[in-house]
Amino acid sequence: MNSLIRWCINKTCLIFFVVIAFPLFIKAQHQECFLLMAGKNATVDGKILLAHNNDLSGTEASMLVKISAEEKINNLPDLSYPSTRKYEMLILQTNLGFAEGDAVAVNEHGVAIAGGLSLKRDRNERVMKADPLTDNGLGGGVRYLALQHSRTARQFVKLIGELYNQYGIGYPSGVGVADTNEVWYMETGGGKSWAAVLVPDSTYIVAANSYRIQEIDFGDSINFITSPNLKSFCSENELLTQEKKVNFASVFGGGVKEKEGNNYYNTLRVWRAIDLLSPEVFVSDEDEVFPMFIKPLKKINIQTCFIVLRDYYKGTPYDIFLEENVPDPERSIAVWRCVHTNVISLDPGVPVNFGAVLWTGLSSPFTAVYIPMYYGISEIPSSYNFAPKEYDENSAFWIFKKPGDLSREKYPELMSDWIKERENFEIKAIIEQESIMSKAEMMLNSDPKKLPDYLNSQCEKYAIESIEMATKMSLKLHKE
């Protein structure tokens, strides 16, 4: 059979299975999250960094899973066509499994899903009428399928776009995706409207549940990919700017302000992240629109990402632990109902097995400890590989959640010494990566069969030590 014809048949089969499986089983949850992505020239060591907080109710336990290319995944179509070969994935997910569309994952080609953002609340009433969501349209779970079949971030975006075009969008959201060369951010606006933008290498982007993609250049297919009828839709519904251009955020966003009179729920977190990373930009907490891409004066590193993900407006009038703010705090970047937090590091030129690292924090950033999980591990540390619905003393998620539950009312006061101990642990872990990478490189060249066990042992070591820290802190809080 002609290869082009076979490719078309296989692609049709792929789409057929998706439309059946995804609308029924993988609707996106109401995800109020935070996302930071930095290009390779915006970071200290040339790595691409993707940081994310997944905020749900706070009780959806989280865990790590490794899915082989051959393994059947519940609720995902089982495809084995040559032109759509499936790829292995390391995934940080909740006990809702693949029904929770806020994917954070890396595949065997070093393509990484940075995490998702619900945009449902920020979608304005005008667009709800002009471009209603599609009944049984695709939700966040389509990201898992795209990662299974993508060798690059650009391919990931195009595949999801093709599926949206064919079967519509059932849940408005944003998602970040990257490989070792490119970082993309994608938003869905309505039932058939979507756009994706390439993040410049020397910049970072921050997003927090409000629309962020601004003016689109439809003549620039290198930096923008959109739904095919986006411009005509905006023109027909008189949604163009005065310059006859499409500003995606203006067209589809603003819904939170419509409902609540302001958008502090989202904008304060964007303001705070930019103020921490680029104070020279002089953004204001009163601003409603922020630059989409920002070039940092001081380049970003992994520890910087940890600091941002854990921020609660300390040193500002919005500090959520100030006595006057405790009854009704503004939503900070770190919240107690976060169920997993992470930083993905992608190192260009380094083998994916140890060049793609998922710095994993289970439970809220307030008490999570970030530890490196290498893509090439063959076993997940025992306490990280399951996520029971009820408290379990052997589950890492519940172990890290416990000191937060015990200290929530007086967190800065009760946890100050432990926070410093955790910082020292994480700094030490970051420093140790250079020697671990060097040993992994030598092992890959001399005895590659031993590499998975070596990476397993390193992850297990960090897991044990971090769990001991959290357990000791819980015992101390119980006594007090």
Q: What is the pLDDT of residues 213-252, one digit of tens each?
A: 999 999 999 999 999 999 999 999 988 887 888 999 999 9
Question: Would you say residue 451 lies in a domain?
Answer: no
Residue tagged 């439809």 (tokens): 218
Question: Would you say residue 367 lies in a domain?
Answer: no
Would you call 171 helix, strand, or coil by DSSP? Answer: coil
Question: Would you say residue 373 lies in a domain?
Answer: no
Q: Give the C-alpha separation, 236 to 130, whole Å.
A: 10
Question: Would you say residue 9 lies in a domain?
Answer: yes
For 146-180, write each residue's pLDDT tens digit: 898 899 999 999 999 988 998 899 999 999 999 99
Q: Give the C-alpha separation, 451 to 351, whole Å.
A: 12
What's the chain's length in residues? Answer: 480
Question: Would you say residue 271 lies in a domain?
Answer: yes
Q: Give the C-alpha separation, 257 to 268, whole Å.
A: 13
CATH code, domain with 254: 3.60.60
**Closest to 67 (Cα-Cα) out of 57, 76, 56, 59:** 76
Which value, to the nearest 10 degrees, does the dihedral of the CA atoms of residues 297, 153, 51, 66 take? -150
How many distinct structural domains can be found in the chain?
1
pTM of the model: 0.92
Question: Would you say residue 474 lies in a domain?
Answer: no
Q: Does the pLDDT value for residue 193 go beyond 80?
A: yes
Share of the chain above pLDDT 90, in %: 78
- As to burial, measured by CB atoms within 10 angstroms (0-12 exposed, 13-18 middle, 19+ buried), residue 455 is buried
Structure confidence at residue 83 as a pLDDT band (50, 70, 90) = low
Question: Would you say residue 437 lies in a domain?
Answer: no
Domain encompassing residue 159: 3-348
Share of the chain above pLDDT 70, in %: 91
For 25-57, write each residue's pLDDT tens digit: 344 444 579 999 999 999 999 999 999 999 999
Question: Would you say residue 74 lies in a domain?
Answer: yes
